[in-house]
Amino acid sequence: MSGEAVGLRPDVADRIRVVLLDSDGVMTDGGLYFGGPDGRTEARRFHVHDGTAIHMLRRAGIPVAVVSGKVSAPARQRADALGIREVHQVDPHGKLVAVAGILERIGADWDEAAYLGDDLADLPVLRKVGLPAAVANAVPEIKEAAIWCGSTVGGQGAVREFVEALLRARGEWTALVEEYVEQCQAELENQFGE
């Protein structure tokens, strides 16, 4: 449907109880980097702004899960570093099953889930969730299925763009930012009495 980075409708945003993310092409730029002595060590590039966004979701009480169609040690390490407990690296055909399990565990319905994707493996999930979203460089079929499309490409802060749009539509972004600043100020005062 969309294709434009416009704000989300508050009624859609307010329903969301979980945010689901693809990894390659969403959290990363989609590139596969190989190196090491044997040329088989795999690496990924992640954007630090996405990590901040994930922390803001957690501050808002919204759990985050990663559902990837590829097994990747770097993706697992990044998720672990961000405190994401639900990380599912499944066969691309298994994404619906993985998401159904996540929703069952947290007690949420499909219409209470948001999913940010970029490629065809994400399409079955996007067609079921309440808030299907696409990064700027998603393939046409993904953009067509999305009700929100970002202007930022995967791996360049696309997760941050989506999270900020979601939390702004819920009316929570500004308060969460101020809460963060206040916490930093309190830490300064605690450490240095300023």
Q: What is the pLDDT of residues 59-98, one digit of tens each?
A: 999 999 999 998 989 899 999 999 999 999 999 899 999 9
In a domain, 158, yes or no: yes
In a domain, 190, yes or no: no
State the CATH number of the domain containing residue 128: 3.40.50.1000
Number of domains comprising the chain: 1
pTM of the model: 0.91
Does position 9 have pLDDT exceeding 90, yes or no? yes
Mean pLDDT of 17-43: 89
In a domain, 78, yes or no: yes
In a domain, 189, yes or no: no
Domain containing 58 equals 10-169
In a domain, 193, yes or no: no
Supply 1's token pair: 């449907």
Spatial contact of 67 and 90, defined as CB atoms under 8 Å apart? yes
In a domain, 136, yes or no: yes
The DSSP bridge partners found for residue 86 are: 65
CA torsion through residues 127, 128, 131, 136, sign: negative
Pairing of strands 86-89, 131-134: unpaired
Spatial contact of 53 and 163, defined as CB atoms under 8 Å apart? yes
In a domain, 56, yes or no: yes
pLDDT of 37:
83
In a domain, 184, yes or no: no
